[in-house]
């Protein structure tokens, strides 16, 4: 367990470093702490108020809303939740007063032509359950009180946004990255039901299609999600369209949820997502820890196993029932989460498929201009895409040629 938590700490450090690499031109937005939610029990892990950042739409986009759910892994044990409750991923008291909007959230037409002038919301993640938890009793560990209330946080923030104009929106997109991308899939149909049938509502998951699959040794060893939903009391909040048909615990995995979804969904994932490769495909091999965080150190044996995850992901996607309303963008970038970074969203040629950037594909799909369901079948190994200049060999940069 300590090794798993250490790996998640490494990944959180990587995410922080990626934020450091954001463009200086990114939009700076002030925080909104939803103190009124506390009385409803809708609180972060430590009992503090949930929070979000909102930049108001203008012009033709003033009546459209984009709600983006922050990611940041999960806490699946009391000890890991105690640690998380002391960080910005577990308490709004540790959140910055401002956030930089980039990628899908940026307000520049040339960088985000489809959503730049919408009301854009960045929901801060502070519950550790992909916004699914709901346990009335407050847990106490070594004098630290823990609140498992992610579902209530989601509900309270959506209620607040509806009151601020989202209920009258003409277009709404629910999106999220990583654990937020998983939350987007889990909440998509429920979110759609909050809005009038006349509103165009769709969902976009970035790096959130976490697989339920065997590892390199033929075993299921990634149990963090099942442990998380049991600790947080999440099972009752998973999509009933799935839980009514199979073991409810399996309904935390997108491959079991998506077949039953009614709301249009766009899936963005890398076929070489290093987070999933390390934590799902090779969770018990210490050699992979070094290899995944600095893939210039991958030995030939490890490098040859990378395509196994690609095959597992593609097979899982192909097993989904066909839907003409589903979008799909599966590139071969060695990166986890792409929509929040401008260079990936609309800029880096190596992130594109069929000469179309992620932001262009999502926009065309949302407005029903053209369908987009593409998987990169050209590259059989991870590709250098949108490298972070601050860490040229870390987590997303390698030349396999």
5: its two tokens:
């938590």
Map residue 13 onto helix, strand or coil: helix
Q: Could you tell me which residues come within 8 angstroms of residue 378 by beta carbon, excluding any fewer than 6 positions away?
A: 332
Do 261 and 325 contact (CB within 8 A), yes or no?
Answer: no
193: its two tokens:
């039901």
Do you know the residue count of the chain? 401
Q: Is 273 one of the annotated active-site residues of the chain?
A: yes
Catalytic residue among 88, 187, 334, 336: 336
Do 127 and 76 contact (CB within 8 A), yes or no?
Answer: no
Q: Give CA–CA dist 71/81, Å, rounded.
A: 15
- How does strand 98-101 pair with strand 27-33? antiparallel
> What letter does residue 70 receive in the DSSP assignment?
-
> For the residues of 4-47, what is the DSSP string, one character each?
HHHHHHHHHHHHHHHHHTS-TTPEEEEEEE-GGGGGGT---TTS
Catalytic residue among 48, 64, 99, 178: 178
Angle at 7 between CA 337 and CA 208, to 5 degrees: 25
197: its two tokens:
């049938």
174: its two tokens:
């629910």
Catalytic residue among 273, 351, 376, 397: 273
Question: What are the backbone dihedrals phi and psi of residue 325, each rounded to the nearest 5 degrees, phi first?
Answer: -95, -5
Burial class of residue 165 (count of CB atoms within 10 Å of its CB; 0-12, 13-18, 19+): middle
H helices present in 97-178, as ranges: 150-163
Do 139 and 149 contact (CB within 8 A), yes or no?
Answer: no
Q: Give CA–CA dist 68/47, Å, rounded.
A: 22
Do 74 and 228 contact (CB within 8 A), yes or no?
Answer: yes
Q: Give CA–CA dist 331/305, Å, rounded.
A: 18
Catalytic (active-site) positions? 178, 273, 336
């Amino acid at each position: 367990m300590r090794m798993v938590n250490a790996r998640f700490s490494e990944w959180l450090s990587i995410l922080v470093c990626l934020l450091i690499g954001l463009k200086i031109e990114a939009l700076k937005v002030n925080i909104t702490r939803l103190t009124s939610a506390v009385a409803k029990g809708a609180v972060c892990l430590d009992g503090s108020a949930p929070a979000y950042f909102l930049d108001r739409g203008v012009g033709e986009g003033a009546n459209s809303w984009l709600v983006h759910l922050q990611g940041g892994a999960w806490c699946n044990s009391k000890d890991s939740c105690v640690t998380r409750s002391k960080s910005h991923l577990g308490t709004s008291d540790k959140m910055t007063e401002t956030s930089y909007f980039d990628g899908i959230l940026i307000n520049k037409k040339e960088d985000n032509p489809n959503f730049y002038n919408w009301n854009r919301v960045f929901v801060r993640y502070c519950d550790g359950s992909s916004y699914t938890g709901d346990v009335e009793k407050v847990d106490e560990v070594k004098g630290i009180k823990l609140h498992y209330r992610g579902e209530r946080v989601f509900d309270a923030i959506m209620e607040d946004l509806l009151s601020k104009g989202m209920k009258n929106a003409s277009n709404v997109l629910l999106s999220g990255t990583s654990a937020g991308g998983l939350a987007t899939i889990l909440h998509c149909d429920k979110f759609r039901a909050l809005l009038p049938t006349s509103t165009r509502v769709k969902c976009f998951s970035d790096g959130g299609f976490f697989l339920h699959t065997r590892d390199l040794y033929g075993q299921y060893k990634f149990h963090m999600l099942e442990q998380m939903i049991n600790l947080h009391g999440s099972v009752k909040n998973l999509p009933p369209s799935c839980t009514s048909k199979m073991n409810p615990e399996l309904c935390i995995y997108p491959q079991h949820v998506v077949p039953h979804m009614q709301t249009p969904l766009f899936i963005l994932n890398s076929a070489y997502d290093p987070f999933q490769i390390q934590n799902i495909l090779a969770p018990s091999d210490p050699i992979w820890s070094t290899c995944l965080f600095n893939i210039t150190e991958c030995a030939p044996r490890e490098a040859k196993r990378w395509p196994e995850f690609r095959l597992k992901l593609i097979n899982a996607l192909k097993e989904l029932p066909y839907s003409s309303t589903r979008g799909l963008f599966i590139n071969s970038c060695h990166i986890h989460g792409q929509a929040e970074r401008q260079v990936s969203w609309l800029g880096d040629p190596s992130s594109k498929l069929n000469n179309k950037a992620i932001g262009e594909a999502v926009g065309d799909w949302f407005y029903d201009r053209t369908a987009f369901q593409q998987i990169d079948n050209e590259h059989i190994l991870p590709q250098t895409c949108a490298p972070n200049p601050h860490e040229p060999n870390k987590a997303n940069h390698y030349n396999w040629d």
